[in-house]
């Protein structure tokens, strides 16, 4: 009995040991694919070879092994070129926009009419002739005018400003025409031939209208006029005044049309604006300014340079406002950000660099 118990205990111990068998060891890892390491090794060799042979830039960043090669930057091909001076368009050849501007400009020409102070003319008759010309400009062309009395007054009131701004370099009448923003100023000169017969008074008048460019003072042309014999029952002065009024009125259409033609013919390079820049000690900055301005207009001509001031002529088919804007833009590009307008008189501007 005792032996049977021992046998049972041994059998139980055997079965217990059999059930406690350990888990099988994990399967060995699959061998690494040799094809994956080959490219990396090859890339390392290529990089080393490039560095040794000088085929690559040792100072540049080399992409890691296995990374895709970077494509050349597209921006390099599209990099903007440095701005270069552009030659002005050929004289006489206008763009469609310039042609439209020119026609509008010619249709809105402003005139200032006065008499030739160098001629021996009675002032009362001179006033009659000037007033008749202004009457035509107002009634037939719808223009505003500077009448005879205003011109006379401004000749006295503007003397100080005239000397300060021009130093007497231009004629006072040209200066007033610029102040008035006239595109052309006209000087009338004439003679009258009076006569009397049978208690009636007769007169004829003949003369010319000289047309000047306000910007340059250049004589553009002239229009001759002559009246038929005019009669007045009142007085000799009345007959002369009537002869002058008739001859000037009849000459005005020809004068305005000829002015348009003459001004158009004078604008092959563009409308001329005078730009004076005060306080210009840096000649290089002014050279940069001139070239920057030339990119926005048809032509820039440097007239003079000194440390005190630089004078330029600008030719363009643009308005005064556009020219002023172009000056500020060119000043910004040339590093003259403090430039400001001192005064403007017609097509003449004076700026200061603010230095």
* β-sheet bridge partners, residue 298: none
Instruction: Decide: helix, strand or coil at residue 120.
Output: coil
Distance of alpha carbon 212 from alpha carbon 273, whole angstroms: 16
Of 354, 289, 288, 284, nearest to 327 by C-alpha is 289
Q: Which tokens hold the place of 25?
A: 């060891």
Would you say residue 95 lies in a domain?
Answer: no
Whether residues 250 and 137 fall in one domain: yes
Least confident of 77-86, 131-140, 212-221: 77-86
Q: In what helix (H) or strand (E) does residue 286 lie, and over which residues does it extend?
A: helix 283-294
Distance of alpha carbon 353 from alpha carbon 111, whole angstroms: 33
Given 231, 265, 299, which residue is the final one in a domain?
265
Predicted local distance difference test score (pLDDT) of residue 355: 83
Would you say residue 85 lies in a domain?
Answer: no
More confident residue, 57 or 212: 212
Predicted local distance difference test score (pLDDT) of residue 39: 45
Q: What is the number of structural domains in the chain?
A: 2
Predicted local distance difference test score (pLDDT) of residue 33: 45
Helices marked H in 73-157 = 96-107, 123-139, 148-157
Task: Provide the residue range defining the domain that includes 333.
Answer: 271-352
pLDDT at 22 over 70: no
Nearest 10 degrees: Cα torsion 57, 61, 64, 70: -80
CATH code of 313's domain: 3.30.70
pLDDT at 110 over 50: yes
Q: pTM of the prediction?
A: 0.72
What integer best gives the mean pLDDT of the chain?
84
Whether residues 256 and 338 fall in one domain: no
């Amino acid at each position: 009995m005792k032996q049977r118990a021992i046998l049972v205990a041994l059998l139980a111990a055997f079965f217990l040991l059999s059930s406690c068998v350990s888990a099988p060891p994990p399967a060995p890892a699959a061998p690494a694919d040799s094809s994956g390491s080959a490219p990396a090794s090859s890339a390392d060799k290529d990089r080393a070879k490039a560095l040794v042979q000088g085929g690559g830039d040792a100072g540049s960043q080399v992409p890691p092994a296995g990374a895709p090669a970077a494509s050349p930057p597209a921006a390099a091909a599209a990099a903007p070129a440095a701005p270069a001076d552009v030659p002005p368009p050929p004289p006489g050849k206008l763009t469609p926009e310039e042609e439209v501007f020119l026609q509008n400009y010619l249709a809105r020409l402003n005139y200032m009419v006065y008499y030739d102070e160098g001629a021996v003319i009675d002032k009362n008759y001179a006033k009659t002739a000037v007033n008749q010309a202004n009457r035509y400009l107002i009634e037939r062309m719808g223009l505003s005018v500077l009448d005879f009395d205003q011109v006379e007054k401004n000749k006295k009131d503007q003397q100080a400003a005239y000397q300060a701004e021009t130093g007497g370099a231009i004629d006072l009448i040209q200066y007033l025409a610029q102040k008035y923003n006239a595109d052309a100023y006209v000087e009338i000169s004439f003679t009258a031939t009076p006569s009397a017969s049978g208690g009636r008074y007769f007169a004829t008048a003949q003369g010319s209208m000289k047309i000047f460019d306000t910007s340059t003072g250049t004589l553009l042309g002239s229009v001759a006029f002559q009246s038929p014999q005019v009669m007045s029952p009142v007085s000799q002065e009345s007959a002369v005044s009537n002869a002058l009024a008739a001859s000037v009125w009849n000459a005005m259409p020809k004068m305005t049309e000829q002015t348009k033609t003459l001004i158009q013919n004078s604008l092959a390079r563009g409308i001329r604006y005078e730009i004076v820049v005060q306080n210009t000690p840096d000649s290089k900055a002014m050279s940069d300014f001139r070239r920057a301005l030339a990119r926005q207009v048809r032509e820039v001509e440097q007239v003079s340079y000194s440390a005190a001031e630089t004078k330029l002529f600008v030719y363009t088919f643009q308005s005064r406002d556009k020219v002023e804007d172009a000056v500020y833009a060119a000043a910004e590009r040339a590093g003259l950000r403090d430039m400001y307008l001192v005064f403007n008189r017609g097509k003449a501007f004076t700026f200061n660099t603010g230095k």
